[in-house]
Amino acid sequence: MSRRKPLIIGIVIVVLIPAIAIGWWLLSPLFINKTVNEEFPLSAGAVVPPGMTQAQAEQQMAEMAAKNQEVMEPMPGMMGTTDPGMTAMPPTTGTAMPMTPQMPGGGMMGTMTPGGMAAPARLKAGTFRDADSFHKGSGQATIYRNTDGSLLLRLEEFRVTNGPDLHVILSTEADPKNRFVQGNAAYFDLGTLKGNIGSQNYSIPSAVNPEAIQSAVIYCLKFHVVFSVAELK
């Protein structure tokens, strides 16, 4: 009996260690928050020069945005002046250029900032709500179209109950409740949730039609549980 005791203890240890590790992986997110705070990308829609990474482009644009460059140019001669020594410029003719950049086919690429620069266009937005009394979520989800036509999902003032293997899902259902792997509605997995607290960005594949998307969902892929839904309008 004394010889079998160490063997039994060894077997128990071998069984317990994986069980404890799996239990910690599954349960620890419920008690641990992960905060992410990403800025809206300045380089969204930008054409990054060869030899430069997206991160380097973002840093360079951020540095330039923090600098003020003042220019003091004299005002040119006024058009249509009555001064005999000056010649008035003739009125321009033709069709005025549109103020909003257009995509091929006439679709809107983005809005114009006060400085005349193209900015990402806000397509749809919604507010996250609790899935149930335990799985809670809040904050804003917004789909943007960048100036190059690419799509971005932005989460702001975001918070959700943490859990194992959480993913960000776009769904064609306004209020999805069933398992996505078994449902008939189309869904698009944008990847692992970066943090259960804070603002963050997710690229949307070009194959996704934003008009068909009706909700953004925080979804536990491990247990197929909906944690929070934001209906997008």
Q: In angstroms, rounded to a whole number, what is the distance separating the alpha carbons of residues 104 and 144?
A: 18
Q: Note whether residue 50 is domain-resident.
A: no
- Domain with 158, as residue range(s), is 33-44+107-233
Q: Which two tokens stand for residue 24?
A: 């910690």
Domain count, the chain: 1
Residue 198 lies in a domain: yes
Is 134 domain-assigned? yes
Q: Looking at 15-19, 39-43, 73-77, which range is the least confident one?
A: 73-77
3-state DSSP call for residue 226?
strand
164 falls within a domain = yes
80 falls within a domain: no
**How far apart are the C-alpha atoms of 137 and 130, rounded to whole Å?**
5
d(CA 192, CA 198): 14
What is the per-residue pLDDT across 206-227, written as a single tens digit (0 to 9) for each? 999 999 999 999 999 888 889 9
Q: Indicate the pTM of the whole model.
A: 0.60
CA pair distance 80, 143, nearest whole angstrom: 46
CATH code: domain of residue 157: 2.60.40
Both ends of the chain: CA-CA distance in Å? Answer: 71
Task: Give pLDDT tens digits for 85-99.
Answer: 444 434 434 433 333
